[in-house]
A and B are shown apart, each in its own frame.
Chain A
Amino acid sequence: MSKKKWIFGVLFVMAGAVIVFAPLPVRATPPTLRTFRIEASQFAYTPAVLAVNPGDTVTIELVSTDVVHGLYLDGYGVSVTADPGQTARLTFIADKSGSFRFRCNVTCGALHPFMIGKLQVGPNTWLWRAIVLTILAALVIPILRPNLPRARAG
Chain B
Amino acid sequence: MKYSEPLSRILIISGVLLVLAVPFAAQAIGAQGVIEIHARVAESGGWTPSTIRAKVGVPLHLRMTSDDVMHSFAIGQSDTPAVDVLPGQMTDVTLTFDKPGTYTYYCTRWCGPNHWRMRGTIEVTGGDSASPPPGTPPLYVTLNLDIDAAHPAAVIPVGIPEAQRGAQFADLLTTTVMSLDYYRSHSPAHAFEDLRVDPSLTSLNNSDLWDLIAYLWQSNSTPEGLAEGQRLFAQNCTACHGETGGGNGVFSANIKALAGKTPANFSDPTTMLGAAPALLQGKILRGGMGTGMPSWGPILTDQQTWNIISYLYTFQFNENSAAAGK
Q: Report whether over half of chain B's contact residues are helix, strand or loop; otherwise say mixed.
A: loop
In the complex, the answer to whether A84 meets B250 with C-beta atoms within 8 Å is yes
> What is the distance, in angstroms, from A40's C-beta to the closest C-beta of chain B?
10
Q: How many A-B residue pairs have CB under 8 A?
A: 57
- In the complex, the chain B residue whose C-beta lies closest to that of A107 is B87
A68 and B112 in contact (CB under 8 A), knowing A84-B250, A87-B243, A109-B68?
A: no
A74 in contact (CB, < 8 A): no
Do A84 and B69 have beta carbons less than 8 Å apart? Answer: no
Number of interface residues of B (CB under 8 A): 25
A52 at the binding interface (Cβ < 8 Å): no
Q: How many residues of A contact B (CB 8 A)?
A: 15
Question: Is there contact, CB below 8 Å, between A68 and B111?
Answer: yes
Query: Does B264 reach chain A (CB closer than 8 Å)?
Result: no
- How many Å lie between the Cα of A105 and that of B127 in the bound state? 45
Mark each residue of chain B from 231 to 264: 1 if its CB lies under 8 Å from any CB of chain A, else 0.
Answer: 0001101111011000001110000000000000
Residues of chain A from 57 to 112 with CB closer than 8 A to chain B in the complex: 63-68, 83-87, 106-109
In the bound complex, residues from chain A placing their C-beta under 8 Å from that of B160 are none
Residue of A nearest to B250 (CB): A65
Contacts A85-B234, A107-B87; A64 near B109 (Cβ below 8 A): no
Contact flag A84-B239 (CB < 8 Å), given A63-B250, A68-B109, A107-B87: yes
Question: A67-B112, A84-B250, A85-B249 given. 6 additional CB < 8 A pairs?
Answer: A66-B250, A68-B111, A83-B110, A83-B235, A84-B251, A85-B240
Q: B residues touching A (Cβ–Cβ < 8 Å)?
A: 41, 66, 68-70, 86-88, 109-113, 115, 234-235, 237-240, 242-243, 249-251
Listed in ascending order, the chain A residues whose CB lies under 8 Å from chain B are 63-68, 83-87, 106-109
